Amino acid sequence: MIGFYDYTVILTFCSLISSVIGATYAMQRHFRTAVFLLAIAGLFDAFDGKVARSKKNRTSDEKLYGIQLDSLVDVISFGIFPILICYLIGMQQFYDIIILCFYGICGVIRLAYFNVLESNNHFHPTNEEKVYHGLPITSIAVILPLTILTSFVLSQGIFLWILRILMLAIGFLFIIDFKLKKPTNTQLGILVSIVAIIACCILLFSKYHLPPQAEPESPLAEMELD
């Protein structure tokens, strides 16, 4: 079989599986489960790099394979999947589609650019930087569920405009070169705990569901729970 098979890619595949299952739930109108699985995909991604680096005897091909695999999964998990969720929630106007396309393009630009840099650094080793340049695409797994929590107290119209501005801003932040300090292990643990709490709140306490059909004008007001 083609490919490289070892424990270093397990969490990357878990992130992909969570996103694919979440997308099917979203299309079946099981909204809270879909958002929960987006957050879970983010949790898997938070640790896949650490797991990969724990194997000290990886070959050159295995390392490059891991770089490519991680980016391809990120396109699905934190690019396409959030776009699908936003569309089903109610971003369905022509200008919404433009915003979602912009978000997707910026995400792909970011991933392709850093794939090139990481591949070059692999052949010309340098000290690993302690900062991100721009906003990591995986941050949507925290930002979107947290934003969706506000839909519980906001009207649909206000919530959708917040979501539009947010997706547009995140797209810009993907490609703007500013420095963002990478979290320490302690900070990462706190972040993971926050994401887990958000995911559980959405799963357990959401009172909103996706519309059973495309006709309703208020998707958030008529979401159907699991």
Among residues 28, 31, 38, 30, the alpha carbon closest in space to that of 198 is found at: 38
Contact (CB, 8 A) for 22 and 37: yes
What pLDDT does 190 receive?
79
Task: Classify 14 in phi/psi space as left (phi over 0), alpha (psi -120 to 50) or beta.
Answer: alpha
Residue 184 pLDDT: 73
The residues with which 132 forms a beta bridge, in sequence order, are 180
The parts of the chain modelled with pLDDT lower than 50 are: 123, 208-218, 221-226
Q: Give the residue extent of every domain in the chain.
A: 7-208+217-222
Residue 211 contacts by C-beta under 8 Å, 6 or more apart in sequence?
29, 218, 219, 222, 223, 224
Name the CATH topology of 7-208+217-222.
Answer: Four Helix Bundle (Hemerythrin (Met), subunit A) (1.20.120)
pTM of this prediction exceeds 0.75: yes
Give the pLDDT score at 154: 83
Quick one: pLDDT at residue 128? 56
Closest CA to 141 of 95, 187, 74: 74
**Spatial distance between the Cα atoms of 222 and 161, rounded to a whole number of angstroms:** 18
- pLDDT at position 93: 94
